[in-house]
Structure 1
Amino acid sequence: MIPHIIKLPKFLDDRGNLSFIEEHNHIPFKIERAYWIYDVPGGERRGGHAYSNLQEFIVALSGSFDVILHDGNEELRFSLNRSYYGLYVPPMIWREIDNFSTNALSLILADDKYDESAYIRDFNEFKKIKNAG
């Protein structure tokens, strides 16, 4: 699969809107872990790594930020700023998140538990692995 935006259900109501995510329905994997990024100081970047096997789904629950993805040959930038859109990121895609607005809140759903050994933290190593396969 390739990285792509997935539109989530959105129910509008005068009392407030509601959206939700279901595994194997809206996203193509079982959710094993959820984590969030918040209180990012101005000008900071998060990420800067790839995963050998992990899939993720990234949503801007509040505020906005950009997700920069690289497949080893080409870079793509996705601006997330609506809580009813999310970005699917397959394994072996380099990712960075930047341009956080004030009070931005990023929710990330993953298909596996945290495992430091699954991270590829050097971009040149990532490109070597990606282009060798």
Structure 2
Amino acid sequence: MNNCFVELKDISDERGSLVVIENLKEIPFEVKRVYYLYNLRDDKARGFHAHKILNQAFLCLNGSCKVLLDDGENQTIYEMNAPNQMLLCKNKIWHKMFDFSDNCIFLVLADQEYHEDDYIRNYQDFLGTVKDEKND
């Protein structure tokens, strides 16, 4: 799985819109955990970590925000402002979410259950982990 920005198929008519995400189809993994962020402040960023194993998909269901993905060498900022946009974030990618609109609802789909020992919360440790992998 690579990090990528995906526009999901939006099925719309006069009744409204529908977006479908199925395991191993639109999303390249089986979802084992779902959580969302809301009541977010535009001056308070979230994230600031990477995962050793866990892969994620990010969706901004309402409002807008920005997501920074950092592989240790390159940083890319994605603007998420439509509920049919999905950003895939593979493991060992430092991520930060920020610049939230007042009404932002940010959904995360993950391929693992929560395990604190999967988190890399220190940026220098993250850079060391990425560097060690490249040397293997």
With the shorter chain as reference, the TM-score category is over 0.9
Q: Distance in 2 between matches of 1:10 and 1:42?
A: 28
Q: Deviations over 1:56-87 (max 9, x none)?
A: 00001000000101001110101111111100
Q: Distance in 1 between matches of 2:61 and 2:20?
A: 11
Match of 2:77 in 1: 77
Q: Distance in 2 between matches of 1:24 and 1:129?
A: 28
Match of 1:93 in 2: 93
Aligned length: 133
Match of 1:3 in 2: 3
User: TM (normalized to structure 1)?
Assistant: 0.97
Unaligned runs of 5+ in 1: none
Match of 1:52 in 2: 52
| Cα distance, 1:42 vs structure 2 | 2.7
Match of 2:128 in 1: 128
| Cα distance, 1:7 vs structure 2 | 1.7
| Cα distance, 1:115 vs structure 2 | 0.6
Which residue identity does 2:28 align to in structure 1? P
Q: Distance in 2 between matches of 1:82 and 1:42?
A: 17
Contact 2:42 2:98 in 1 (8 A): no
User: TM (normalized to structure 2)?
Assistant: 0.95
Structure 1 consecutive aligned stretches of length 4 or more whose deviation exceeds 4 Å: none
Unaligned runs of 5+ in 2: none
Match of 2:43 in 1: 43
Contact 2:66 2:77 in 1 (8 A): yes
Q: Distance in 1 between matches of 2:62 and 2:24?
A: 24
